[in-house]
Every structure is written in structure tokens, then in C-alpha cells.
Structure 1
């Protein structure tokens, strides 16, 4: 019988062998995200794709001395997407246009929906078994788009499709720490619902800071929900949250890798197909999920909520249902 140490060593050796593809790798999120993935020891093959610039990004980060091969592809390469995706274990999709001042995530829909649809079609063709991490906004609608494309192709696996909502978690930790005067690295806030505005619901009652005065608490919740606006305004029309989003994407990808490796108790919030409110016509909902070798192993409930949190969830559900339907109908009406 193998010792516990031998078993762990064997698992670790087998683990660090993932091919990861980034679709939209030359963009504001894609470049720092690709760099962060290059630094992850579990990534041994990194394939970058974009309509332009992917080869330059690949050449640049390939000089970073970690044990991974990096390649870049564009539409000019023969079967560029096929080469990018074949054999891929995890696909991250940050492709799309960024928000500009005055734009909501829904304003991005008509442009980014088409981009995500076309990329999802290629993923279904060339990497049907990969875990797919959708970053392209509006996530509340783009994730349902990917599902519908995969369903049409007959390769949909609900346990391997994720909307990355980790940025809301990072903001919640940071902003909460500023209010209560603690180290942000010690704060963990479960953020549920979706990934835009009022659909973002931080469950502050689940933290150790239950007695924040109502006015300060309401201001904190609003800042978490609309934190992206701060970045859009500060960048003065030149972009949106790219660096923090790259860190969020890399963190969630790292959690997915750990789950695929078979590590125990890997739990992160994500926007996934969920039974929590399916009876109300809300097929997707962000909540904590346990990640494992098959992707989503368990979807956690929200637990006991404070009264104000129940109200926030109800408001979130109203918008989420519309967002999800919008994504679904973008594909089904085009058939």
C-alpha cells in the first residue's frame, strides 16, 4: 500500500500537466491574466488566441522562467483556434470590448454576445471536455449563451461551465477591510447572485462583522455592487477593470486546477447552472461551489440570511431572470 506521502506525491506529479487556453489574450484582461497563468506551476502548456497581438504576448511572457510552453495564435494562422484549443483542459474567455463611462454591462451585450457565441462554438468543436471559465461581460448573459451553444453541439456539461464572479469577492474583501480597519487578506465574504450591479449580493452577515451601522453597511454594499464604475471613471474612458479582473480570473482558475487535482474542500463562489432558484425560472445563480475532478461537485445554499440580505436576493433574482433569458434567446432565436 502506498503511504500517504507517496499518494500525495503521485497526485502532485500528475497534477502539474494542464493545457490552458486564453481566448482574448491580447486584451486588457487577457495580457495580465496570461502572465499570471504563466506563473502557475500547474500550467505546463499555455495557448493564447486573439484577433491580433497574441503572438507578441506569447513571445513576451514565454521569457518568464517557469515550466510551461507558450504559443500564440491569430485568425491568420491556419486552423488557429483548433490549434489553440485541441487538448485543452481549461479555457478562459476574457474576449470582448471593455466598458466605457456611462455604459452598463448590459450595454455590452450586443457586441460581446456575438464574440462569445463564436468562440464557444469553437470550444465545443475542439475542446468539448474542457472546463470553461467565462469572464466576458455581461456574465449573467454570456454564460447562458455558452450553454445554449454547447447544447446545440451536444457537448454541454453543466459541471464544467463557470461564470467568473471572483472580482466581486476580491472587492468585497478589500472594501470591507477599509470600513472595519482590518487586514483585507483575512476577510472572506461570500458574494452570491450574479455579476452586475444589483445582482451582486455580498453576504456580510456571514462575516465576523455583523454590527456595521446600517448607513455604513448600505454604502459598503453599494460600493461592492458598483465598484467597477470607480475604475471606469478613474480610467477616464480608456478602459475598465482589467488588472483586478485578471487577478480574479487567475485566482478562480487556480481553484479549478486544485479541484481537478483532487484537492479537498476547494470552495469558491461562481455563476453556474444551479438548482437554488430554478423553480423560479432562474437557471443560473452564483453561490459557493465545491470544485473537484469533475468540475462542480457541490452547490452550496446561501444559509441563514439577514432580513436585508433576503431583500437584496429578491431584487437580484428579478434582474437575473431577465439577463439569463436574454442570453438564451440570443441563441435560440437565431436558429
Structure 2
């Protein structure tokens, strides 16, 4: 039996993500939580003829406790969406508080659950989650994931259009670092199968992977951000975690994680100078089984990108830790 929870299930990411999880044959129970509309979303999804039993909860009447109790995996897309001219950092003050409250609930009601953080800015919200879990005495680095899969999905898609591959998922491209702007570093040199990117297209391709979110925000003309592609990416990662927990082998996906607590993580921490970093993670029954070091194999072009990544990420991570250790005055 697998109980999955979506916290922020009524939003632009939450609804399509919940739909995808309802369609997943691996999920037996799907609990939805949000501050508005969740019973309606749950009722709508409950009519779909797949095995998962769907329930919807609001904050009143111990809704968060009821949603989280017994959860095996908790996916968190909760928060406000990014608007035009708004950076992921602008979202910080609002979304940081939302994530902190939800993680406090997880620590209390389902401390052994696998936690997948989608809420932006991931570079800061994952350190926030780690600090909250540490304070509660239930932090397991192997079970806290920052979902950076959308960057991988974009890299696969954009490369496929350049090289003429009709099935983008046949391209395996490590995308490492963080999950915003220059902290996103695609390692095209380590693509499998290998790909040849024309030199006159490389910089534009890197920029498109790094700032693909801006492309969507602009195209939606102020009407939203990357919700559908993010829902797909969140589901892709969640499904891999569920399959790995059930015993499937060989599942690897990059994720933004606290590396000192993961096998293979220490060498990456030493190379980057950062405890939180996204690298390909081998998934297993306990969550993150192994962090795969692709940093040391970066080429000269990628090393320059990584230098900018390290500097930006350091500040993002510190901001998240600081938010919990020294809460802002209300």
C-alpha cells in the first residue's frame, strides 16, 4: 500500500500533479491538502477509474494531520506562482513560511515519509525543510528531495530538437547545481548517448535550460508560470521514488539534496564547497542510495558555469538556513 500526499493540491501545479498521481497504478491512496478547494478537486479526481482512493482536506478540523498521517510520500508544490518580472528569490518570503509550516506537519505526523519539495525557490526551501526536520530530531537526508527534474526534462527536450531525436527521453543529460537561473548547469558533455551541439548554438541552449521558466512566464503573458511541465516533472520524480521503494533497480534522477548524509556525497561537497547540491541520485528502498559524482568530469566550458553556480547557490542556501534559525520579524 502506498499513500501519497500532495500539499498544495488546488494550485496550478497541484491539480495536474494530483491528476497524474491518481492515474499512477503504484498509488493506493491519494490525500490532497490545500487552503482552498481541496474537497472539490478530490471529488473530481475520485471519479477517475484507477485504484487510488482520493480524499481532500482543508486546514480546519485537523486537515493537515489527517492528510499526512500514514503518508509514504509527500509532494509539496504549495506556494504562490512566479509572476512576470518576479525572480524565484522574490517568492522567498511568502513560500518559505508556507514550506516551513508544512514540513513541521510532516515532522509531527509522518516523519518517515519521502519528502519531495517543488515549492520555489528550491535552493532555499530544501535547506529550510532540512532545518525544520533537524530541530524535530527526524531529519533523514536520504528522504528529503528537492525536485529539479524540470531542468532535466527541458534539457532532454531542447537537445532532442537540435539533434533530431524524436523521443526526448532517450537522451540522458545530467543537470546539476540548483534550480534557478545560473545555478542550473547542464552537462551536455556527459549526455548518453553522446550528443554533438554546434558551438554556435551551445550558449543559447544553456541559457534556454537555465531560464526556460522565464520563457513560459512570458508566453503566458502574466497569466501564470510553468505549471503543467512542472507537474509532469514532479510526477516523473515521484513515480521513480515509489518504484525504487518497491524494489525496482537502476533508477537515477538528479535531485537537490543534503549530500553529507548520502553515500558518495562527501566528495561532491568537497569539490563544490556546498552541502546542498543537485547531482544524479541512485534511488532505492531507503530513498537516496548514492550520489553520483559528475562534477569532477565537467569540461572547461561547464567548469566556468559551475563557478557562477557555486557563488549564487551559497547565498540561496544560507538564506534558507537563516530563515529558520533567525525567523524574520512579523
Task: Output the CA distance in 2 between the equivalents of 1:210 and 1:57.
Answer: 42
- Cα RMSD between the aligned structures? 1.2
> 1:57 touches 1:72 (CA, 8 Å); kept in 2?
yes
- Give per-residue Cα distances to partners, 1:3-58, cap 9 Å, x unaligned: xxxxxxxxxxxxxx200000000000000000000011110000000000111110
- Note the residue ranges of structure 2 that are not aligned, 5 or more in a row: 260-265
In 1: Cα distance, 2:46 partner to 2:196 partner = 49
Matching residue of 1:264: 249
1:185 positional shift? 3.2
Counterpart for residue 213 of structure 1:
198
Correspondence for 1:290 among 261, 272, 282: 282
Partner of 2:105: 122
Bigger shift: residues 132-141 or 199-208: 199-208
1:311 to 284, 301, 304: 304
Structure-1 separation of matches of 2:85 and 2:162: 27
Rounded Cα–Cα distance in structure 1 between residues aligned with 2:324 and 2:281:
27
Alignment of structure 1 residues 81-100 onto 2, 5 Å: 81-100=64-83
C-alpha distance in 2 between matches for 1:298 and 1:187: 21
Q: Are 1:201 and 2:200 an aligned pair?
A: no
Q: 1:40, 1:146 → 2: CA distance? A: 27
Q: 1:1-335 residue pairs with structure 2 within 5 A?
A: 17-76=1-60, 78-183=61-166, 184-207=168-191, 208-274=193-259, 275-279=266-270, 281-302=273-294, 303-334=296-327
- Count of residues paired in the alignment: 318
The DSSP-based 3-state class of the residue aligned with 2:28 is strand
- Structure 2 Cα separation of the partners of residues 46 and 258 of structure 1: 16
Contact 1:88–1:130 (Cα < 8 Å) also in 2: yes
| CA deviation after TM superposition for structure 1 residue 334, in Å | 2.5
Structure-2 separation of matches of 1:40 and 1:212: 35
- Unmatched segments (≥5 aa) in structure 1: 1-16
2: CA distance, partners of 1:220 / 1:141 = 26
Partner Cα separation in structure 1 for residue 327 and residue 201 of structure 2: 46
Say which SS state the counterpart of residue 297 (structure 1) adopts: strand
Q: 1:325–1:276: structure 2 CA closer, same or farther, 3 Å change rule?
A: farther
Q: Deviations over 1:299-319 (max 9, x none)?
A: 000152211011111211111
Q: Is the 8 A contact 2:80 2:95 kept in 1?
A: yes
**TM-score computed with the length of structure 1 as normaliser:** 0.93
**Residues 156-211 of structure 1: per-residue CA shift (max 9 Å, x gap):** 00000000000001100111111222222322211011100001011100124553
Q: Secondary structure at the match of 1:201?
A: strand
Secondary structure of 1:250's aligned partner: helix
SS in 2 for 1:309: helix
Are 1:276 and 1:285, in contact at CA under 8 Å, matched by a contact in 2? no
2:268/2:293 contact within 8 Å kept? no
Indicate conservation of the 8 Å contact 2:174/2:280, yes or no: yes
The corresponding residue for 1:4 is none
Distance 1:109 1:67 in 2: 37
CA drift at 1:281: 4.4
Could you tell me the TM-score, scaled by structure 2's length?
0.94
